[in-house]
Structure 1
Amino acid sequence: MRKRSSLLKTGLALLFVLLGGCASVESRSLPYDAWSLNFFAPDYMEVWIETADVVDINDRLFRGAGSGIPATGYPRGLSKGIPAHFKGDAKGWFKDPGGKGRYVTGADLPRLIYVRWQSIAEPQTYEAYIEIPQFARNTMLKDEKAFCGAVGKWKTDYRKLLIVGLAPGGVAKVWLGGPCLQSTEVTRVQGTISPEGPYRGQSGGTYYPLSEESKAYIDKFGIPYGSW
């Protein structure tokens, strides 16, 4: 009888542990499955993201949450050669940036974003630690009514897109947006030069290649430092 009672207690204890584990997962503060970390760069100011890492409010680290080529207006993806007229303008930020990226699956609200990138328009390698303020996290939890042009009707939306703009000089600026909501500014951070150089010093100082079109734009108009 004692053995049976002991087994019952052990089984109940295990059940409480399992239920506790489920509760901790379900108690995440997000009202949606995941938020997305998106990046973009001004026209012709091309960037190569070496890594973007996330720390959430539970101090969990998500490495490699972003990498590669971010969104930009110009040059276009299928552009070839140097155009007769440059349609883009590198000065300043896009009015309603959206960027491109990926969902940070399993993360709670973001506390810190680390990004290391090559500003191949210069070229220079930067890194930045972006602290996400509490008001931004509060905004990510708030539902808003918005007219969604994609479906042609009003719907409830959340600002679950964390959008980071990366510009020459090591500037990183952050917005919050939603699929049907206009992006709003959150913070601006001045990054620092990474002493290791591109690819953490593994490329002998060689940067990701700059496109022919962007190089021609920079040769003609220069880099508009101070406009970001």
Structure 2
Amino acid sequence: MKIMAVLLSFLLLVGCNDTIAQNKIKVPWDKWYFTFSTPKDLPAQVTIVKLLDTDGYGYVFKTVDQPQGNSTGTWGAYIGKGIATFNKADAPPQMIKFCWDSIIDKKTYETTLFFAADTKKKMITSEPAWDNPSKTYYFRYMVIGLAPEGKVRVWLQSNGKPNIEQTSTKIITISDKKLDMCKRVTNFPNGYEYSEGMKEFIKDKVYPYGKW
């Protein structure tokens, strides 16, 4: 596992698209999409994303669809949106590595997601759409939740039902002196400041302001 992690990290860091494709599959859709979500008034910003898909191709996203969310106290069952402008790829992911600023924590985090085979399997399955059985629904919309304490969770949006958490995903988040790819990568080089809305929301609440 350690050797595989190092290899995948290297492929992402160099942005290589000429990797050896393994277990290549024919997907039933043109693109899949991933979006980020944050709790209400506890914003975060994602600065860079590197992705390795199951066909062995690497992607680098420097322009990212930024987190949007309105969950209070705990994650909502239907968070996230479907199609994103920038966050998309051709084949399901093996690994996603990204840098993000948690404004409420006033620090930068570096998160790596290692996906198990069941995520790929779910993403290429289909069923009749809940609102129109004559149409087909594919589980190709991923949501990545970013919360205080650097907590990260991953879901696939379901077919008119609550999101499906990808509990088999291995999630590693580091910060401070442990930062590697994300060292000195931030949208807040001059420091973080709370907005008036954030100050009002966290007033009299105990950090991390919910269970994430």
The TM-score, its normalising length taken from structure 2, stands at: 0.73
Aligned to 1:95: 77
Select 1:217's aligned residue among 193, 201, 205. Answer: 201
Task: Calculate percent identity across the aligned residue pairs.
Answer: 23
Question: Which digits, 9 at most, give the CA deviation of each residue in 1:124-149, with x for residues without a partner?
Answer: 1101100111001000011112322x
Select 2:139's aligned residue among 154, 159, 167. Answer: 159
For residues 81 and 36 of structure 2, the distance between their equivalents in structure 1, rounded to whole angstroms, comes to 5
- 2:191 corresponds to 1:206: yes
Q: How many residues align?
A: 183
- 2:211 corresponds to 1:227: yes
Work out whether residues 130 and 159 of structure 2, in 8 Å CA contact, stay in contact via their aligned partners in 1: no
Aligned to 2:27: 30
- 2:54 corresponds to 1:57: yes
> Aligned to 1:33, what secondary structure does the other structure show?
coil
Aligned-residue offset at 1:156: 1.5
Aligned to 1:77: none
Aligned-residue offset at 1:56: 0.4
Q: Which moved more, 1:58-67 or 1:47-56?
A: 58-67
| Poorly superposed stretches of 4+, deviation over 3 Å | 99-106, 178-182, 194-199, 201-205
Work out whether residues 117 and 127 of structure 1, in 8 Å CA contact, stay in contact via their aligned partners in 2: yes
> Aligned to 1:217, what secondary structure does the other structure show?
helix
The TM-score, its normalising length taken from structure 1, stands at: 0.69
Higher Rg:
1
Q: Which moved more, 1:192-201 or 1:33-42?
A: 192-201
Aligned to 1:118: 101
> Aligned to 2:208, what secondary structure does the other structure show?
coil
Aligned to 1:67: 64
Aligned ranges 1:178-193 → 2 under 5 Å: 180=160, 182-187=162-167, 189-193=171-175
For residues 31 and 111 of structure 2, the distance between their equivalents in structure 1, rounded to whole angstroms, comes to 23
Question: Which digits, 9 at most, give the CA deviation of each residue in 1:21-67, with x for residues without a partner?
Answer: xxx9xx75210010001110111211111112211012211101763
RMSD: 2.9
Task: Write 1 or 2 for the structure with the bigger share of helix.
Answer: 1
Q: Which runs of 5+ in 1 are unaligned?
A: 1-23, 74-87
Aligned-residue offset at 1:68: 5.5
Aligned to 2:13: none
Summarize the Cα distance change of 1:168–1:203 in structure 2 as closer, same or farther, 3 Å threshold: closer
Summarize the Cα distance change of 1:92–1:174 in structure 2 as closer, same or farther, 3 Å threshold: same
Q: Which runs of 5+ in 2 are unaligned?
A: 1-20
